[in-house]
Structure 1
Amino acid sequence: MLAGLGALLLWAFLALLSTLAQGLPPLQLTAMSFAVAAAIGLLVVALRGEWQALHQRPLVWAHGVGGLFGYHALYFAALAHAPAVEANLLNYLWPLLIVLLSAPLLGLRLGSRRLAGVALGFAGCALLLGGGARFPAEAWFGFLCALAAALVWALYSVIAKRLADVPTGAVAGFCAGAALLALLAHLAFEPSVMPDARQALAVLLLGLGPVGAAFFLWDLGMKRGDPRLLGTLAYAVPVASTLLLIMAGAGGFTWQLGLALLLVAGGGWLAATAR
């Protein structure tokens, strides 16, 4: 559970670090960040002599690479074809989907307290991200991509528990595969930009944290922890991310943020105390 919470904490830094990388095309940033994560992960695998962790069946590779790359590709497509606020709100259905899918895919009981907890978490997220949200019909493709991204990440997360025999070291290979696919997509659809010192530092920090260690920690959390509780607590990510941006001088504290914080905290408490 602590590993899963560590992943959520690292993801809270994603928006802040992404602002440092502003100016790099999204797919190029994804490819570079995943390349850093893969290089460090493969180095750890080599030092520990655990190369067998990369010898996995095709289904496992499809799950790992497809989940990491598929989610990011769909998310960036959503931002490109729909308003960012609305796309983000739909994308943050993934914590709710993790909780709901835990019942049919893992046979885990939900219960009214846990469902109430995740509902409060989503309400806090909607209050924070969805103020004045509108869903114009012409942006249907972007909204569809955002929903697909949420579903892909929820399925990736829940199915990880069904693949508990796969060592976490395999995530290093998944990152390498995601980096390769992102590079190919970047070369096909985007111009390349030479990063400056600020952008290069952002790429390094992203590869170390939100697009690196976070995936290894999340894999541990999903396989050994309670996906229902982690799914509910995931609604703290947009709140914590907003607080970090405010601390960095990118905004001010609002009543919506304060209420969202209370809703997410209350939802987490309900989920944590559910039996």
Structure 2
Amino acid sequence: MTDQKQAMLYGLATVLLWSTVATAFKLALADLAPVQMLLVAVSASVLVMGMILAGQGRFRLAFQLSRRQYLQSMGMGLINPCLYYFFLFGAFDRLPAQEAQPLNYTWALVLAYLSVPFLGQKLRGLDILAGLVCYAGVVVIATRGQVTALSFSDPVGVALALGSTVIWASYWIIATRDSRDPTVGLFLNFLFGLPVIAVVCWQTAGLDFLVSGGGGSLAAAVYVGVFEMGVAFVLWSQAMKKAENTSKVSNLIFISPFLSLVFIYFILGEKILPSTYIGLVLIMGGLWLQQTKTRHREQELEHG
């Protein structure tokens, strides 16, 4: 099997996992507060990433970093998982999954815009057009099709969802200067972020749920930690590492939000609104336009 075929298989496996997490978020939040879900998910993620590193014989790398890199782990841990997932889970707690999930996908566009001032990249007319198309989709979804009224279904939920995209894009811009092994870096970020999450959970929502139990909600939170925060990251890293043509693998991400609606409909029982379909097509169309820049650059490199 060629490296590109392996990369596509890793990519498809990742997309399948990503497609289930919006449903898992809502199942976990049925009985847990967002910060309680975050505590369970991050704990599970730290455990599974530690096991993955140990299985790969690379766990020792987590203890061979410089003092500056450990301080970096603390700082990045406050962004991801602490701040990012607090915003994201807060959005899913307030919005239907079919609304929160597509809004979160606009992080890729935010990343392109933030790369202009922070990474010195150029903003093209195509990027502006992509933004207009994408955020037209955001308005359609957030207003549930009542575009002219501009009456948002839950303004706070929408703000949390869009805020999460800014935090996530900012995290990846900071990560461009990260010299740590990606899996080791994420493991340490989560490890250092875990005590902060535990203290916040204890002081706000409480830790009683750990004793009383949340049944299916606890299981769903563990699933999120193991697969969305842990295994999916490792699989996607492998896909990018083996890819001979990264744009072909990256384009697999466009499958995820549509497949996610299938799980949301059949498992959560949410009736998918026409505005969700329209808005999601606009958002994915905008992201596709924005990604043409990457495809053109790869084609230029391939042809010298």
TM-score category (smaller protein)? 0.7 to 0.9
What count of residue pairs does the alignment treat as equivalent? 269
Residue 242 of structure 1: aligned partner: 261
The separation in 2 between residues aligned to 1:229 and 1:70, in whole angstroms, is: 31
Q: 1:258 to 1:93 in 2, by over 3 A?
A: closer
CA drift at 1:36: 0.7
Contact 2:11 2:252 in 1 (8 A): no
Residue 63 of structure 1: aligned partner: 76
Residue 170 of structure 1: aligned partner: 185
Contact 1:12 1:238 in 2 (8 A): yes
Residue 272 of structure 1: aligned partner: 291
Residue 263 of structure 1: aligned partner: 282
1:34 pairs with 42, 50, 54, which one? 42
Residue 200 of structure 2: aligned partner: 185
2:112 pairs with 99, 103, 114, which one? 99
Contact 1:10 1:209 in 2 (8 A): yes
Larger Rg computed on CA atoms: 2
Residue 299 of structure 2: aligned partner: none
Contact 1:14 1:210 in 2 (8 A): yes
2:141 pairs with 128, 135, 142, which one? 128
Deviations along 1:39-71, whole A, 9 cap, x unmatched?
010112223332224533412431244332111
Residue 206 of structure 1: aligned partner: 224
The separation in 1 between residues aligned to 2:240 and 2:114, in whole angstroms, is: 13
Contact 2:103 2:162 in 1 (8 A): yes
Residue 125 of structure 2: aligned partner: 112
Q: 1:200 to 1:65 in 2, by over 3 A?
A: same
Deviations along 1:193-230, whole A, 9 cap, x unmatched?
23344233212311122233344567789999999999
Residue 27 of structure 2: aligned partner: 20
Please give the TM-score of this superposition, normalised by the length of structure 2: 0.69
The separation in 2 between residues aligned to 1:246 and 1:145, in whole angstroms, is: 23
Q: 1:67 to 1:217 in 2, by over 3 A?
A: farther
CA drift at 1:263: 1.9
